[in-house]
Structure 1
Amino acid sequence: MQQFDILDPKLNVFQSRFLEASAGTGKTFAIEHLVCRLLLESDPPISIQEILAVTFTREAAHEMKTRIRSKLAEVPDRRAREALVNFDEIQIFTIHGFCHRMLSEFAFEARTPVQMTSPEKPDHICEMRQTVEDFFRTGESAFAIDVANLLKRSRYDVDRLVTRIVSAMENEDEPKKFSFPSLPQIQLEHLRADFLTLAPRYKWLKVEAYEGQCEKFVTYLEQKDPSLLFEEKAWFFEKIHEDNAKLRAAPLSSLSLHAPDFFQELQTKLLPPLKIARDADEMIKRIAKECRNRWKVKASRHDHFTFDDLIRKMDAALNIPSFLEKVAAKYKAVIVDEFQDTDPFQWKIFERLFLENHLIYLVGDPKQSIYGFRSADIYTYMQAANALGEEKKAFLDTNFRSSPQLIEALNTLFTQNPDWIALPSLPGALNYHPVKAGRTENQFAEPPIV
């Protein structure tokens, strides 16, 4: 793998590359200078409208635009001035923004509505909020317990609660599934007697605080109404488990109980689903899923699209030759930033459009692939690297953020044990490329004695 120095005038920037950029190695600096060199050194010239840059978030896209504009303003060159004049046409997007732009611009070829609403636009969020607020107003009985508990926990700050639910709708978080089990019946007097016998064995279990729950719990067993389980912050059986037993507690086998296995069943069968049911994050995900389904029904009537919809629509549209040709012809150079966060469907889009006949830079760091919950896939990263070929691989070799001592320690740590960053689904591990320190000062040095 070759070292990549964007400031080296001998570097051929008109060659596709798979660029690995560890944290602190000046990735954004390299990208902004790469765009400038593509604009200034291309022959025939490449215009600013013909360079596509895709990154992971809107904030990162905005920062990239700002830095490229500033860099172009520093260059006393005719092409740089032309790029600044046309800077409003710069093609920097998130993957979803890119899909939305192409599906809208080439709507006839893609067979999509001309007036598509992007899920990245503020009105999209407003409509989601409206859906959540309508949900609260209707008072859906199936979610009454979740709503009541969340309102109570949020101290009835409805606006903040709605914001959290909308965020979960955007992320399309799936709630955990659970169901309450059937439990054997037990007589109230037997439950109370066993509770009084067991209580002294366990920490933080005061009889006077919990004894009244026995009758409520028997009512739950009779009526099988889960809402009754939400009436108490903590139930007595949550304390009755061996991890919570007192140090010198008498053995369970020495106690005389009416239903010796009953409390064990509560621990193994009832407590796990109850924890999921009462978890605030899970409540939000459940409500968000219901609201998202309602919003999608409403959105489908007005040509609104979710993030996943855009990827699916784009993938389908690429099967139409005229659409694929129009999009591919629009760009001459493509830069995909944060490529480690790309999922298989997104890579398929870039691969079909740009891999064969375009200048393409895929920039990322496999060590920072942390968005598995959003379908990011490290194996997609590796597949793309192989698609470009070994001769196209390069890396940034200097860390400008960390102290020399820390860089030396990390290099030693990871080079001595190359299997530390293991790949669960493949033999071997991720390669670690040692980096140099771009700073000279020792931030860990002792301060001078004055």
Structure 2
Amino acid sequence: MEFFENRYMTPQGHQLPDAKSRYRALTAIDQSLVVEAGAGTGKTTILAGRIAVLLARGKNPENIVAVTFTESAASELLLRVREYIRRLRQDDFPPGLGDVFKSGISSREKICLEKAEENLDNLVCSTIHGFCQRILKTFPVEANIDPGATIMDERQSNRVFKEVLDNWLHKTLSDENGALIAGLITRYGTNYTSGYRHIQDVANRIRAHRNVKAANPEGFDEKLEEFRNALLSYVTFIKALPVPEPKSKIIADSFTHWCELAQITSNSDVNQLLALIDFPSEHGLVTKNSRATVTTYSQKARTVDWYSALDGTKKSINDARRQASTAYERVRSLWNGEIRLALADQLLADLVDNLKDLLNHYQLYKRSAGLLDFDDLIIGTRNLLRHGKHGLSVRRALARQYEYILVDEFQDTDALQAEIFWCLSSDDDSHDWTSFALRQGALFIVGDPNQSIYRFRGADVDIYTRARKTFPEDRVLSIVTNFRSSASVLDFVNNRFNQPLSEPDQAGYKALKPFRLYSDNAQAVVS
């Protein structure tokens, strides 16, 4: 069922609140645009409509690229474009296109649509991975890839990576430089599986983000010195008591050993680092419930020498307890705050450096076996377009081939993918892709930052925000009319999401407007 007629009017005969934005999204084919379209606002309709207008105005299908997030979405979009062409040739206007062709379809436009329909298979409508594969196979020499390489799906690449990881671990554990890996695997006792899974998790993350670099903690040596001083403060106080209280003395002795372990630097052996990290848990120190004070003994215990040495007064005992507690809490605060985090950061930085060797083994294995994974397609395309020798010439050739690039679900695009789209839509070659001047009409992106769900794959609402800021304000269009839900449902959604999605770290919230003001007395249902 069509939710609206071929013109942008509500059932009550009013113009849609975003009618002008919808019209520009369809007709301004000489402008690069951002279309922010909320849930249920007809994003696919807008994409298909703009492609249909491009074809009606004589643009060739082979010069148009539509990138969607899934293969099913690509198939749906292509079917919709085919349907729109057929309907336009019969003077049957699809949604919104009645406003575009107010005087009807001209004979020239029908000829263009007929020709486009015959060659519609030349229109590239695919996922970003499919599009990158097409580019790389066009320029295999420049991209330094095997043109006959097999593209692995996600399941295949995970299996191959695990095999390479297992072989690499076996080699590394038998190597004299494998102390870090061995320490991480064995630190859980005989449960080697836990350590293996931690290493596998970090390895998979680095594999997905190959340019990542673990930041070395700033001021590592200074923080360790502060921690050692805190340990010594407690030890010095306890040992200065005329007769040290037994329990506190045990803790002070442990702190003395701990202080010796803390005589490390950022360049220290990994075994020293692991020993320092594990020491408090092995000795029950500075845990959440642990305490270290000069104990208040019972009346019977007041004959103890250390109690007499403290003048045997309640004030003296309380003062000693307070000083011991303050010194101990200082150690606990530092350890559970900056120190443990700094040690973890240092350990992670060392692990990332170790795992770079694993990635090299993975790349060599794929090359020897004639394999590529999805990440190779993205990274390879980005590197091809940025290549110092071939980059600009390849980009110019692709610009002639793909004059119009349309991107759906842009909020789920990561930084490398965004850079690819900007490289293909501009002749600039500066380091920062967000400074590129886009060719007129070359790039058309549709997205909703409030629906970003793939942060774990590298997508980030910050990438969307940075990309949006590269467009002038008048090139950012808001589509807010929702055809899916009733007014009462949208009121509820707007009230609940406006405030949290308008916080400083969010991309902002645009309230959705109902197409149907009334629900014909039917209950509104959220499913």
1:334 aligns with 2:434: no
Contact 1:399/1:438 (<8 A) preserved: yes
Q: Deviations over 1:350-400 (max 9, x none)?
A: 4415932545312123445685976643552333321xx61x443322224
2:65 equivalent in structure 1 = 52
- Within the candidate set 245, 265, 274, 1:227 is matched to 274
Shift of the 120–361 alpha-carbon distance from structure 1 to 2, 3 Å rule, reads farther
- Aligned pairs for 1:159-178 (under 5 A) are 162=200, 165-172=203-210, 175=214, 177-178=216-217
1:12 aligns with 2:35: no
Identify unmatched segments of 5+ residues in structure 2: 1-16, 87-113, 263-271, 292-313, 428-436
1:291 aligns with 2:355: yes
| Aligned residue identity for 1:113 | N
1:352 aligns with 2:426: yes
CA distance in 2, matches of 1:364, 1:161: 35
- Aligned pairs for 1:114-193 (under 5 A) are 114-115=145-146, 122=154, 125-137=158-170, 138-139=172-173, 140-149=178-187, 156=194, 162=200, 165-172=203-210, 175=214, 177-178=216-217, 179=220, 181-182=224-225, 183=228, 184-185=231-232, 186=235
- Aligned pairs for 1:32-431 (under 5 A) are 32-35=48-51, 37-38=52-53, 41-44=55-58, 46-47=60-61, 49-55=62-68, 60-71=69-80, 77=86, 82=118, 86=121, 90-94=124-128, 98-99=131-132, 101-107=134-140, 111-115=142-146, 122=154, 125-137=158-170, 138-139=172-173, 140-149=178-187, 156=194, 162=200, 165-172=203-210, 175=214, 177-178=216-217, 179=220, 181-182=224-225, 183=228, 184-185=231-232, 186=235, 196=247, 218-224=256-262, 225-228=272-275, 229-230=277-278, 232=281, 235-239=284-288, 254-256=319-321, 262-272=327-337, 275-276=340-341, 287=351, 290-296=354-360, 299=363, 302=367, 307-308=378-379, 310-316=381-387, 320-340=391-411, 341=413, 343=415, 345-346=419-420, 348-352=422-426, 355-367=438-450, 371=455, 376-386=462-472, 390=474, 392-409=475-492, 411=494, 421=502
Shift of the 71–362 alpha-carbon distance from structure 1 to 2, 3 Å rule, reads closer
Contact 1:32/1:68 (<8 A) preserved: yes
| Aligned residue identity for 1:181 | L
Contact 1:403/1:437 (<8 A) preserved: yes
Bigger Rg, structure 1 or 2: 2
Shift of 1:218: 4.5
Shift of 1:284: 7.9
1:22 aligns with 2:38: yes
1:206 equivalent in structure 2 = none
Shift of the 339–68 alpha-carbon distance from structure 1 to 2, 3 Å rule, reads closer
Provide the secondary structure at the position in 2 that maps to 1:291. helix
TM norm structure 2: 0.58
Provide the secondary structure at the position in 2 that maps to 1:236. coil
CA distance in 1, matches of 2:186, 2:287: 22
Contact 2:483/2:515 (<8 A) preserved: yes
Provide the secondary structure at the position in 2 that maps to 1:115. coil
Q: Deviations over 1:93-113 (max 9, x none)?
A: 32x6645543441345xx331
Q: Deviations over 1:381-427 (max 9, x none)?
A: 333321xx61x443322224555224224556888x8x983657xxx
Shift of 1:62: 1.4
CA distance in 2, matches of 1:221, 1:365: 53
Identify unmatched segments of 5+ residues in structure 1: 199-210, 243-249, 446-450
Provide the secondary structure at the position in 1 that maps to 2:386. helix
Shift of 1:187: 8.4
Shift of the 80–326 alpha-carbon distance from structure 1 to 2, 3 Å rule, reads closer
Provide the secondary structure at the position in 1 that maps to 2:143. coil
Provide the secondary structure at the position in 2 that maps to 1:311. helix
CA distance in 2, matches of 1:367, 1:195: 60
CA distance in 2, matches of 1:195, 1:27: 73
Identity %: 15
Contact 1:338/1:363 (<8 A) preserved: yes
Root-mean-square deviation (Å): 5.2
| Aligned residue identity for 1:93 | T
| Aligned residue identity for 1:266 | V
Shift of 1:334: 1.1
Contact 2:63/2:401 (<8 A) preserved: yes
